[in-house]
């Protein structure tokens, strides 16, 4: 099966006070139709920039997309005109954001904001768009959708606002839905409800979801495949089950170690480095050296890691298939396999 959305060697740079820094240093990802791809990493790893690049919304200036391609249904959208991008945005590729409290415009009603997206991409009257908006609010599980369509954002809770965002995002039946930390700002019960809703939506509309998160728990909950990002690179990629059960990169192990243990098998827990938290922070992008960006925080670091950056290499798999398989960028993992 061909990927629906394919990111190839994408490079994004930002102008900062420290000169031009690389936010994405050539990443490659595939999104298959109808699947959920999780992109996981800490703040500053480039996961949100990846999402904005897929939307063609990298702020320029200061951002520059300097190399690579983003191919959506055979079209390289990094070369698309602004007009073409506006057609795709919201219609074929749509997005929901981290902050439901501030992501809706406070001076327009929920129904108006959804109907606006519908009228923009479909040839319908205002009345039809409004009816469709009410129907969408019902689909995303908002009680009394007709009354709620006339409500303003400040009259709704955070969970309800996120449902409105989702209704807006799916209003034109997109093929890809990018969700940037969709539940981070919500409390735990509401998180679970939003995940349920996203799974429902996926089943109902067959939309592929790109879920961006720092929370391996959310990955375990939602993702079919996972890309782990660190300092502007993908450092491990594979099927969610493989990565959760058998993480190869010490950073991925660390992230999994950060999930509160709720009946995770003792056998796999023994193989993880004992990391309840990962010491240190992501290095500032302008200070990255030639070696592995994780070296200073890595429990398995050795000399080679500081000299030479490990490539994203397939693990037990033919090279041409690695994007579909399990790949890792780590010298230590390679040694382990060789041994």
Partner 1 sequence: MGASGYILRRLGYGVILLLGVVVLNFLLIHAAPGDPAEVIAGEMGGATQEMMDKIRADYGLDKPLIVQLGLYLGGVVTGDLGESYFFNQPVIELIGARIVPTILLVVAAQMIAITLGVGMGVLAARRPQGAWSAFVSVFSTIGYAAPVFWTGLMLIILFASMLPLFPVEGMESARFSGGPILYALDVLHHLFLPALTLGIIFLAQYARLSRASMIDVLGADYVRTARAKGLSERKVTFKHALRNAVLPIMTVAGIQFGNLISGALLVETVFNWPGMGRLAFDSVLRRDYPTLLGVLFFAALMVVVANLLTDLGYRLADPRIRTGGSRK
Question: Would you tell me which residues interact with partner 1 (CB under 8 A)?
Answer: 55, 57, 85-91, 94-95, 97, 99, 101-109, 116-117, 120-121, 152, 154-155, 165, 168
Q: Which is nearer to partner 1, 86 or 138 (CB)?
A: 86
Nearest in space to 57 (alpha carbons), one of 35, 89, 32? 89
Note the helical H segments in 213-301: 216-222, 240-245, 250-257, 266-271
Min separation Cβ 157 and partner 1, Å? 11
Min separation Cβ 248 and partner 1, Å? 35
How many residues can be counted in the chain?
339
- Please answer whether residues 153 and 164 qualify as being in contact, where contact means their C-beta atoms are separated by less than 8 angstroms: yes
CA distances from 65 to 7, 56, 274 (A): 12, 10, 38
Residue 319 class from Cβ within 10 Å (0-12 exposed, 13-18 middle, 19+ buried)?
exposed
Min separation Cβ 103 and partner 1, Å? 5
Q: Which one-letter DSSP state was computed for residue 299?
A: T
Q: Which is nearer to partner 1, 139 or 327 (CB)?
A: 139
Residue 213 to residue 250: CA distance in whole angstroms? 18
Pairing of strands 63-72, 36-40: unpaired
Q: Which is nearer to partner 1, 62 or 299 (CB)?
A: 62
Min separation Cβ 109 and partner 1, Å? 8
Residue 150 to residue 190: CA distance in whole angstroms? 23
Residue 133 to residue 72: CA distance in whole angstroms? 27
Q: Which is nearer to partner 1, 57 or 71 (CB)?
A: 57
Q: Which is nearer to partner 1, 99 or 246 (CB)?
A: 99
Min separation Cβ 87 and partner 1, Å? 7
CA angle centred on 213, ends 188 and 46, rounded to 5°: 155
Q: Which is nearer to partner 1, 84 or 307 (CB)?
A: 84
Query: Sheet harboring 75-76: ordered strands across?
Result: 19-31, 5-16, 63-72, 75-76
Q: Which is nearer to partner 1, 66 or 87 (CB)?
A: 87
Q: Which is nearer to partner 1, 70 or 228 (CB)?
A: 70
* Residue matched to tokens 């990802």: 29
Residue 319 to residue 329: CA distance in whole angstroms? 14
């Amino acid at each position: 099966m061909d990927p629906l959305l394919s990111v190839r060697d994408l490079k994004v740079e930002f102008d900062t006070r420290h000169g031009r820094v690389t936010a994405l240093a050539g990443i490659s990802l595939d999104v298959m139709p109808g699947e959920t791809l999780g992109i996981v990493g800490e703040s500053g790893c480039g996961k949100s920039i990846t999402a904005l690049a897929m939307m063609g919304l990298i702020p320029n200036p200061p951002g520059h997309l300097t190399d690579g391609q983003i191919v959506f249904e055979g079209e390289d959208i990094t070369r698309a005109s602004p007009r073409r991008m506006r057609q795709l945005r919201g219609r074929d590729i749509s997005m929901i954001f981290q902050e439901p409290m501030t992501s809706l415009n406070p001076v327009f009603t929920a129904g108006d904001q959804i109907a606006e997206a519908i009228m923009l991409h479909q040839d319908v009257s205002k009345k039809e768009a409004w009816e469709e908006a009410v129907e969408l609010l019902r689909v995303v599980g908002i009680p009394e959708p007709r009354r709620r369509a006339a409500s303003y954002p400040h009259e709704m809770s955070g969970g309800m606002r996120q449902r409105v965002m989702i209704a807006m995002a799916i209003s034109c039946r997109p093929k890809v839905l990018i969700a940037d930390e969709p539940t981070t700002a919500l409390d735990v019960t509401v998180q679970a409800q939003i995940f349920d809703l996203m799974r429902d939506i996926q089943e109902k509309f067959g939309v592929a979801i790109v879920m961006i998160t720092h929370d391996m728990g959310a990955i375990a909950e939602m993702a079919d495949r996972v890309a782990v990002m660190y300092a502007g690179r993908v450092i491990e990629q594979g099927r969610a089950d493989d990565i959760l059960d058998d993480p190869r990169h010490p950073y991925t192990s660390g992230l999994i170690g950060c999930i509160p243990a709720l009946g995770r098998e003792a056998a796999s827990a023994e193989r993880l480095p004992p990391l309840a938290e990962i010491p240190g922070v992501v290095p500032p992008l302008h200070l990255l050296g030639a070696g592995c960006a994780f070296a200073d925080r890595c429990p398995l670091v050795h000399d080679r890691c500081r000299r030479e950056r490990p490539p994203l290499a397939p693990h037990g798999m033919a090279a041409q298939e690695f994007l579909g398989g399990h790949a890792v960028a780590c010298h230590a993992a390679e040694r382990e396999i060789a041994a």
